[in-house]
Chains A and B, each alone.
Chain A
Amino acid sequence: MWKTYFKTAWRNILKNRTQAFINILGLTLGTLSCLAIMVYIFSQLNFDTHHEHADEVYRLRTFIGSTNGSRESNFATAGPPYAFAMKDEFPEVEEATRIVYLGSENSELLRPKGQKEAYFEAEGYLADSTIFRIFTFKFIKGDSKRALNEPNSIVISSGMAEKYFKGDNPLNQYLVQGSGEDELLLKVTGVFDENFGKSHLRPNYILSMNTPGMGEFVRNTTDFATQNFVHTYVKLAKNADVDLVRTKLPGFLEKYAKKDLEKWGKSKKLYLQNIQDINLHSAGIESQIGKTSDINYLKMLAILALFIQLVASVNFINLSTARAHKRAKEIGIRKTIGASKNTLIKQFLCESVILAFVAAFISIPLIALGMPLLGGLFQTSLTIDILWNWEILAGLVVIAVLTGLVAGMYPAFLLAGIKPVRILKSGSFSSSSGGFLREALVVFQFMVSIGLIAAVIIILNQIHHTLDKDLGYSKENIIAIKLGTDEAKDAIQQLSNSLGNIPGVTSAALSDMYPSQVRDADLAIYLPGEDPNKIQTMVYNGISPGYFETVGTKMMYGRTLSETDTLGIIVNESALKAFNLKPEKAIGQQLMYKTGGETDQALEIVGVTEDFQFTELKSVTRPILNYMDSRTDWMVVRIAGNDISQTLDKINTSWNDILRHKPMEYRFVDEELERLLSEEKRLARISTIFTVLAVILCTLGLFGLISFIAEQKRKEIGIRKVLGANVPSIVNLLLRDFVILLLIGLALAVPITWYQMEEWLSSYPDRISIQWWTFVLAGGISFIIMIFTVGLKTIRTASTNPVKNLRTE
């Protein structure tokens, strides 16, 4: 019997090609988006499960709040002494390790010993040797148990081994980190396979914590309050109760950190998070290693994909029910030769399920082709292999079956319920049944389209609002050149002179951070003569005298820095507000900063600038102090707007003349600013894609429906024309119903979208408010698309010679 169902279904699909095409196209778009989201979600699941002790390994997180209980920050890190204090304190903790994340940017200069060619290497970790007892890394060379014991030992990824040592055995060879005075000789003691599976830890190299410098600092820090930058992991005993350990954490803090915290004036809370939860449950956590995903984000994507599939299914339902009369004869015959309602329902469901499967099959090669695009969209690496996971294929089958059933159920019942005698007698069947449902479904489609269009408008508005806001400096045509090495710093004067001779360079200055750079280094400052515990934190930055002129920030009071200023500082307006200082009295005002030593240091304000957005765009402006520095990490260069590439070439040449073998690292500030909004842009892109899909599907569905309605009303139109109706009045007649449906869809879309987008915007400190015209625009766009779809068809129908229509009746 099933064979016959399939056979008839298949022949029917071939027979009604237009309808089948619209249906398959729609269902393919829907299935494709479901599959794409499924692939992405799948790629984000099961992170860090491959570690041998995955179930027992936890990340120690810290919540920091001020003692007056105001804002609380949520960090992925803890202070340096926490890890091993926990191991001492809790019998449940078997192992502990600390990781200092050296950054995702190309932050450390490395080269093989004896070679000049050096590279800035990203994703470096500084870690205790216990890291390999907690996390599983597959060692290709070396012994993971001892690899990081010795000071200055480094373990590198297989990819890095290839890059630095080509075919040679890297084991026991040396790498040189940094340059000049800070040069550090590192011995390669291990190579791990860089295909470590899905993990929140994706190091290129791991440096022993026993190494001098930062490692030494971490090892020697005993303060439980500050320096909250160390990623801390513990491994519990196999049968340990993590909840029990969690309940003991406040007591632990009380015992170890109370004194330090009181001195610091802030409170802390600790939390243990299993490493397998990190990738999906880390939204809003600061100072993470690399990027994490977010379960809510995945859910939202899944819901969007399902909506698209629903919109496609609606097309199927509407086209099938609208065209029921075409099947009526067949149904009548089948019933008179013995078909029961059930067998017919099965037959029709079979058809819709087959269509859904055809769509599923088509979507597989499409997704395979689109994989790089998809990877770019979600900013993760996706390969075709992921498709061959049985979970994905099973998911696809489930989607196809469900879609087939959901889309086919109603039409199947409607069709199978047709009484044979009606058709066999009159040869026609009224399609009025299912009319209300059809209208409701069209409303649903309009609602989804309008809602999505409005959401995209709001997201784009927020992005533009952020990008266009007054930053307090001019972001265009500033490049920041990295002076990461001692050689470069030694050559600063030479570089400045050389750059000064390039015609395209307007001005250049030095700074420890370039505008838009995210840096959380801050100092504890208090006013002299007041309680030293009443501190304000201020971001600090070393600059050269011409800095503000170069970036284009206006001075409000006082003067700029000069070479001889050692304790003179320039602050911004927010700093004055923070300390409640009157601008006219600010110049000459002293500020005390806590050195952590015996005596605190007094600084003197020599100038005040207008507020400027020195860090990323989304945050609000914070107090900052700028001091004189002639050996900074960055050089900020303003270049003329014309011939940018030529100027860049010349800068590059100057650099290479002075600093041979050191790559010049630079970035455009405006590009960096945009990069910091990549998350928002990605959201905008994804929403746009979904919106376009939804609109295409609605258009397809509308086209199918209006074709049908126009055909059905041919006679009515003919009669009206004979009676003297003109084309516009007939178009109006056909369009009116759709306009009403669109307005209902709009009315439903407004509150839902408003609520959802209000939620989304609430996470932005500097946000737009939703404008009523957004919805007018969204509705207008839908209206225009509808007019084009429906209008063209109706005009054609309305223009037909009425005699033709009436004769065929």
Chain B
Amino acid sequence: MLTLDHIYKWVNNGGRRVFLLNDLNLKVEQGEFLSIMGPSGSGKSTLLNVIAMLDEFDEGEYYFDGEAIHELKPKKRTAIFNENIGFIFQAYHLLDDLTVYENIETPLLYKKVNRSERQSRVADMLDRFNIVGKKDLFPHQLSGGQQQLVGIARALIINPKLILADEPTGNLNSKQSEEIMELFAELNKEGTTIIQATHSESNAAYGTRTIHLLDGSIVKN
């Protein structure tokens, strides 16, 4: 599904080059559930952002579904991202001013999906995550686990091929974490490719494969 080939990303700090990603090679197949582990600052988030095309890299090649991403213009990259990838954040990052329903609906609005289809898709999603009763609440009225459910629902609403999750359970207690992870496993079983960054071995265990990062390089595959 995607291939990262000799990816380098660095920042210049006082004349010295600090590598965030250092000669990183990664191949992810359709249907995989990949867990990325590593200490803080090892480049997990950077890697996810690069995969999501939210961040640029300085050297190397990136192919997504056969498209050479490194050769594309930003606009086209954004279009590919919007079409294929759902992003889940550690801090949920729901839009505070929107209700649960509206948060889930927003990506569809940006995709100009018509009204009736929006309604049915959001209703399905609410149903699936068992949050129909919460649809008119605002994020601050929900618990962390519930918020993350909404975040996942929002990521899934566009039927993405790939889900990127940056420590999705980092702010949750162990019971909530378990629920989220089981949900991920289920999604993966249904065919969605998932890449998650995590600190937790037990979470990583839900995945089909785990890689370990250190100083921007994969140390263990």
Please report A residues at the B interface, Cβ cutoff 8 Å.
1, 4, 7-8, 11-12, 15, 329-330, 332-340, 343, 419-421, 424-425
A-B pairs with beta carbons under 8 Å apart, 15 shown: A1-B112, A4-B106, A7-B102, A11-B97, A330-B96, A334-B95, A334-B106, A334-B110, A336-B93, A337-B107, A338-B110, A338-B111, A338-B158, A340-B110, A424-B89
Given A11-B97, A12-B97: A421 in contact with B49 (beta carbons within 8 A): yes
With A334-B106, A340-B78 in contact, is A420–B95 under 8 Å at CB?
no
Chain B 92-121 against A: per-residue CB contact (8 Å), 1 yes, 0 no?
A: 011111100010001101111000000000
Would you list the 5 A-B pairs with minimal beta carbon distance, nearest first?
A: A338-B110, A11-B97, A421-B54, A338-B82, A337-B107
- CB pair A15–B49 under 8 Å, yes or no, is no
- Of all chain A residues, the one with the shortest Cβ separation from B82 is A338
Interchain CB contact under 8 A, B93 and A332: yes
Q: How far is the CA of A464 from the CA of B112 in the complex (A)?
A: 67
Inter-chain contact A15/B78, CB cutoff 8 Å: no
Q: With a CB–CB cut-off of 8 A, which chain A residues contact B109?
A: 1, 4
Listed residue (A11, A337, A339) with the most chain B CB atoms within 10 angstroms of its CB: A337
Bound: A336/B97 CA distance, A: 17
A335 neighbours in B (Cβ, 8 Å): 54
Do B55 and A337 have beta carbons less than 8 Å apart? no
Contact of B111 with A8 in the complex, beta carbons under 8 Å? no
A738 to B116, CA, bound (A): 54
Knowing A11-B97, A424-B93 touch, does A336 contact B87 (C-beta < 8 A)? Answer: yes
**Chain A residue nearest to B52 in the complex (CB):** A336
Determine which residue in A11, A15, A338 has the highest number of CB atoms from chain B within 10 A of its CB, and name it.
Answer: A338
| A11-B97, A336-B54 known, 9 other contacts, Cβ within 8 Å | A7-B102, A330-B95, A330-B96, A333-B93, A333-B94, A336-B87, A337-B106, A338-B158, A425-B49
- Given contacts A340-B78, A421-B49, A424-B89, whether A333 and B95 have CB atoms under 8 Å apart is yes
- Tell me whether A329 and B93 are in contact in the complex, defined as CB-CB below 8 angstroms, given that A420-B54, A421-B54, A425-B49 are known contacts: yes
Among residues of B, the one whose C-beta sits closest to the C-beta of A5 is B109
Most chain B CB within a 10 A radius of its CB, from A4, A333, A419 = A333
Please name all residues of chain A whose beta carbon is closer than 8 Å to the beta carbon of B107 when the two chains form the complex.
Answer: 337-338
Within B36-61, the residues touching A (CB, 8 Å) are: 45, 49, 52, 54-55
* Bound-complex Cα distance A330 to B93 (A): 8
Q: A346 CB to closest chain B CB, in angstroms?
A: 11
Query: Main SS of the interface on chain A?
Result: helix
Query: What is the chain B residue whose CB lies nearest that of A1?
Result: B109
Which of chain B's residues 55-84 have a Cβ closer than 8 Å to chain A?
Answer: 55, 78, 82
Contact of A8 among B78, B98, B112 (CB under 8 A): B98
Q: What are the residues of chain B within 8 A of A332 when measuring CB–CB?
A: 93
Question: How long is the Cα–Cα vector from A698 to B178 in the complex, in angstroms?
Answer: 56
Q: How many residues of B contact A (CB 8 A)?
A: 25
Closest to A419 in B: B54
Contacting residues, chain A, for B93 (C-beta < 8 A):
329, 332-333, 336, 424
B87, B94, B97: the one contacting A15 at CB < 8 Å is B97
- B88 nearest CB neighbor, chain A only: A336
Taking the closest CB of chain B, its distance from the CB of A351, in whole angstroms, is 12
| Residues of B with C-beta under 8 A to A340 | 78, 82, 110
By a CB distance below 8 angstroms, the chain A residues around B98 are: 8, 11
Q: For B82, what are the chain A residues with a Cβ–Cβ distance below 8 Å?
A: 338, 340
Smallest distance from the beta carbon of B212 to chain A beta carbons, Å?
Answer: 21
Provide the bound-state CA to CA distance between A193 and B154, in Å: 71
Chain A contacts for B106, CB-based, 8 A: 4, 334, 337-339
Q: B59 → chain A, closest Cβ, in Å? A: 18
Check B45–A425 contact: CB distance below 8 A: yes
Contact check, B55 vs A421: say whether CB atoms are below 8 A apart.
yes
User: Contact mask B24-46 → A, CB, 8 Å, 1/0?
Assistant: 00000000000000000000010
Question: What 1/0 mask marks residues of chain B from 145 to 159 whose CB sits below 8 Å from any chain A CB?
Answer: 000000000110010
CB distance from B94 to the nearest CB of A (A): 8
Chain A residues with CB under 8 Å of B94's CB are 333
Contacts of B97 in A (CB 8 A): 8, 11-12, 15, 330
CA distance A15 to B107 in the complex (A): 23
Name the distance in Å between B21's Cβ and chain A's nearest Cβ.
14
CB nearest neighbor in B for A425: B45
Give CA–CA (A330, B139) in the complex, Å.
Answer: 13
State A789–B180 Cα separation when bound (angstroms).
Answer: 52
A155 CB to nearest B CB, Å: 68
Report B100 CB to chain A, min CB distance, Å. 14
When A1-B112, A8-B97 are in contact, do A337 and B87 touch as well, CB less than 8 Å? yes
Q: Tell me, rounded to whole Å, the shortest Cβ–Cβ distance linking B158 to chain A.
A: 7
Contacting residues, chain B, for A424 (C-beta < 8 A): 49, 54, 89, 93
* A424→B164 CA distance, assembly (Å): 14
Residues of B within 8 A of A329 (CB): 93
Q: B112 — which chain A residues lie within 8 A by C-beta?
A: 1
Minimum distance in angstroms from B167 CB to a CB of chain A: 12
> In the complex, which residues of chain B have a beta carbon less than 8 angstroms from the beta carbon of A419?
54
CA distance A425 to B89 in the complex (A): 10
Complexed CA–CA distance, A425 and B43 (Å) = 12
A354 to chain B, nearest CB (A): 14
Q: Is the CB of B95 within 8 A of A339?
A: no
Q: Chain A nearest CB: distance from B163 CB in Å?
A: 12
* Nearest opposing residue in chain B for A339, CB measure: B110
Closest Cβ of chain A to B109, distance in Å, is 6
A335 and B154 alpha carbons, distance in the complex (Å): 13
**Which B residues touch A337, using CB under 8 A?**
87, 106-107, 110, 154-155
Complex Cα spacing A15 to B89, Å: 24
| Cβ-closest chain B residue relative to A329 | B93
B83, closest chain A residue (CB): A338
